[in-house]
Amino acid sequence: MRFLFGRNKTTMVAPDEANAGRDRPAFAVPERHAVLGTPLQPPFPEGFGTAVFGLGCFWGAERIFWKTDGVYTTAVGYAGGFTPNPTYGEVCGGRTGHTEAVLVVFDPEKISYRDLLAVFWEGHDPTQQMRQGNDVGTQYRSALYYADDEQRRAAEETRAAYEEALGSAGFGPIATEIAPAGPFYYAEDYHQQYLHKVPNGYCGLGGTGVGCPIGLGAEAVSEPETDDTLRPIPGSAEEWRERLSPEQYAVLREAGTEPPFSGEYVDTDDDGLYHCAACGNPLFDGRAKYHSGTGWPSFTEAVSPDAVEIVEDR
């Protein structure tokens, strides 16, 4: 069998049909931010503000904010849905109602909530519904979850201003969900600061190129367009051949199969994530690996339901 990426779940689950979830988290959360060195969980310094944003895949979204001056800490998680303490697999399955979200803790003496809103608006395409770029699903919807009336007013006012700017540039209406902040459920350890841990990892975010007329916007972010941790997908066979080894090219681009018992990971039992050699996406967790006797690494399940698609090989 060979594996392909793919999913298309754009219909929100009804509350009474959502996953039941659990009373407590199913996993531990790191104590400190891998880049900033600050705590990921409360208590946070007195007087600091919090904001929760959903703007597509949370790997790239989190990096936008941790690079913004005045941000104390960031964390990725799940928000806006119905299932308590969900797992990544459940959220990707489309039956929790949650977005992939970023918790941002900021120092209001250094950056305002409106400035963060400008970073949010410019960091993605808020006119897209239930998707961002190639990432399709309800968990990738654009969303703002406000903590109080002041944040709600700022969100609505900046939305109106940005929608006017987008309209002048030929874009449609903003589809962003604006709602009160409910519980924020932290994501698994390997998702936190993912693009710091996996420099060549996938980042599917892309803005509209239209500046937000209120706040710092893209100026608050350190060179997002030239970040050398981005790994664009090649467009030609020559570019693929430059990136991949001959064997990788045969397997990934020509549907080939490596000889059994030849791979370096056949007999390893280490924990960790197995990534796609082409795009950097995580495919399997080492804890799900077992010895099948086939000569190829075998796993009981993928890292999430949308990580791979099983296609019959004829």
Residues that are catalytic: 57
Amino acid, single-letter form, for residue 237: A
β-strand pairing of 142-146 with 177-180: parallel
CA 264, 269, 270 angle in degrees (round to 5)? 90
Contact present, 76 and 58 (Cβ < 8 Å): yes
β-strand pairing of 135-136 with 131-132: antiparallel
Contact present, 214 and 181 (Cβ < 8 Å): no
- Taking the mean position of all CA atoms in its chain, how far away is CA 124? 12
Contact present, 78 and 99 (Cβ < 8 Å): yes
Task: Give the 3-state secondary structure of residue 225.
Answer: helix
Contact present, 61 and 205 (Cβ < 8 Å): yes
Contact present, 80 and 97 (Cβ < 8 Å): yes
User: The tokens of 130 are what?
Assistant: 């239930």
Q: In terms of Cα–Cα distance, which of 147, 173, 162, 157 is closest to 53? A: 147
User: The tokens of 247 are what?
Assistant: 């064997």
DSSP state of 128: S
Q: In terms of Cα–Cα distance, which of 101, 184, 92, 90 is closest to 135? A: 92
